[in-house]
Structure 1
Amino acid sequence: MKTELMSTVFLSEKRKMALLMLLEGPATVDEIKDSLTGTTSAIMAQIKILIEEGLIEQKEDKYGLTFVGRIILKKVKPLIEALNILEENKEFWGTRDLSGIPDLLLDRIGDLGKVMVYEPDLNHLFEPPKELLTSLKETKNACTFYSYFCPSCPNNYSELANKEVKFDLILTQSVYERLRDEYAEQYNAMMRSANSNLFVCDDNIIKLGALSITDNLMLIAFFNKKGIFDHKKVISFEDSARKWGKDLFEQYKEMSEKVK
């Protein structure tokens, strides 16, 4: 029975996608067809299999998950989402050091949804992606962590401070000291703002390159498995990714000390 159910869910992309759709609520065959690719007869063939396996049922003109189907899909959905994330950029994820992510958040890696992997050319190696710069100009809230010195960080965040944008900025000790000692004007602007908070953590306590969450995106940058920061970054505009990023940021905040 286990093998049959697993095969039913995973051996057909149409069945898998139909089940995920029905997890959101019952739908007609036309609504299912609109969300998938294929003819009505092809969709009905998959629906018939799902009914025979006891995963969905028909009530009037709509199809919905059975209790068994809902139990299975609630467990399977995170796995499907994680596979979608990891398979789409298999080479990238296979070379990343993910030790900076707690197990509970690794279990939710599928929350990142549809992502883009940003890899700058040599002329823009030390510049943040334009998507992040644009978002910072428009956002009303920001949470950012850096374990390396980003040349544009002092100006970007002093501008946010001058606009009284609410933000939390976590820096490693060495990065913080450089900001404080070499960019006094920008540092003082951040410290004067009632809406900006600076936090400092030990240089070796957080094994991550960078993390930024704004009102419309989440950006994260990992070291590779050799411990080298190669400037590759992941960007997602999904609400679930922003929630995932905020949960990670809050854990980092607990490992940091606020600058007063």
Structure 2
Amino acid sequence: MKAELISTVFLSEKRKQTLLMLMDGPATVDEIKESLTGTTSAIMAQVKILFEQGLIEQKEDEYRLTSIGKLIMKKIRPLIETLNVVEANKDFWDSRNLDPIPEFLLDRIGDLGDILIHEPDLNHLFEPPKELLTSLHETKNVCTFYSYFCPTCPNNYSELARKEVNYNLILTRPVYERLRDEYKEQHDAMMNSKNSHMYICDDESMKLGALSVTDDLMLIAFFNKDGFFDHKKVISFEESARNWGQDLFQYYKERSERVK
């Protein structure tokens, strides 16, 4: 039976998507049809299988998960979400060093949802993605971590400070010292802003490239497994990804020292 239930969930994209949809609440036949592609007969054939396996039930004109369906999907949904994130960009994830991500957040990697991989050309190698720049222009809250020096970032940081955006910035000590010594005006603008807070992270084990979380975007960059930074970045606009990014930032913040 266990193998049969696993097959029921995973061997049909329509069945899988129907179960995921019903996790959010009951749905009518028409609502199920609208959310899936295919003919009515093909969709209803898969709904019938879910019904026969005891994963869904019908009450009046709505389908809903049974107690067993809820129990199974509560466990399976994180796996499905993780597979969706990894399978779409498997070569990218295979090449990343994920050690800087604590285990409790690796378990939630599916929270990243729909992602895009930003890979700049040589003419824009050291510039932040346009998606991030657009978001920084409009956001009211920003959390950022950098372990490398981005030449355009001091001006971006200081502009946020002058706009009194709620801004938390974590830098490794070498990056912070370069900001302080070579970009004094921008550094002082951040230090003088009541809404800007800077932190120094000395933990060498936290070898993450970059992280930014705004009101509508999460960006993260990893070193590859050879220890090189190739400027590839993951971007997601989903709320679950932003929450994941906030939790990761908080993890780093708790291991950093505030600059006073």
TM-score by length of 1: 0.99
Q: Is 1:132 aligned to 2:146, yes or no?
A: no
Q: Distance in 2 between matches of 1:49 and 1:61?
A: 18
Unaligned runs of 5+ in 1: none
Which residue identity is paired with 2:154? P
Residues 244, 215 of structure 1: CA spacing in aligned structure 2 closer, same or farther, 3 A cutoff? same
Instruction: Report the secondary structure of 1:209's partner residue.
Output: strand
Tell me, yes or no, if the aligned pair for 2:139 and 2:215 is still in contact at 8 Å.
Answer: yes
| Distance (whole Å) between structure 2 residues aligned to residue 10 and residue 203 of structure 1 | 41
Which residue number corresponds to residue 96 of structure 1? 96
Partner of 1:119: 119
Cα shift at 1:203: 5.9
Question: What is the letter of the counterpart of residue 192 of structure 1?
Answer: N
Give the corresponding residue for 2:196: 196
Matches within 5 A, 1:171-182: 171-182=171-182
The answer as to 2:251 corresponding to 1:251 is yes
SS in 1 for 2:208: coil
Question: 2-side partners of 1:22 and 1:120: how far apart?
Answer: 39
CA distance in 2, matches of 1:241, 1:145: 16
The corresponding residue for 2:186 is: 186
Query: Is residue 147–residue 203 contact of structure 1 (8 Å, CA) maintained in 2?
Result: no
8 Å CA contact 1:96, 1:225 repeated in 2: yes
Contact 2:96 2:222 in 1 (8 A): yes
Q: Match for residue 232 of structure 2?
A: 232
1:21-170 correspondence runs (5 A): 21-170=21-170
Q: Give percent identity, aligned residues only.
A: 74
Corresponding residue for 2:3?
3
User: What letter is aligned with 2:249?
Assistant: F
Residue type of the alignment partner of 1:246 = Q
Conserved? CA contact 1:154–1:183, under 8 Å? yes
Aligned-residue offset at 1:177: 0.2
Following superposition, the deviation at residue 41 of structure 1 comes to 1.1
Which ranges in structure 2 are unaligned for 5 or more consecutive residues?
A: none
Aligned-partner Cα distance in 1 for 2:39–2:79? 28
* C-alpha contact (below 8 Å) 1:174/1:203 kept by paired residues: no
Instruction: Please give the root-mean-square deviation of Cα atoms over the aligned residues, in Å.
Output: 0.6
TM-score (norm 2): 0.99
Q: Which amino acid aligns with 1:201?
A: C
Q: Deviations over 1:126-170 (max 9, x none)?
A: 000011011111110000000000011110010010111110000
Q: Is the 8 A contact 2:125 2:231 kept in 1?
A: yes
- Helix, strand or coil at the partner of 2:32: helix
The answer as to whether partners of 2:203 and 2:255 remain within 8 angstroms in 1 is no
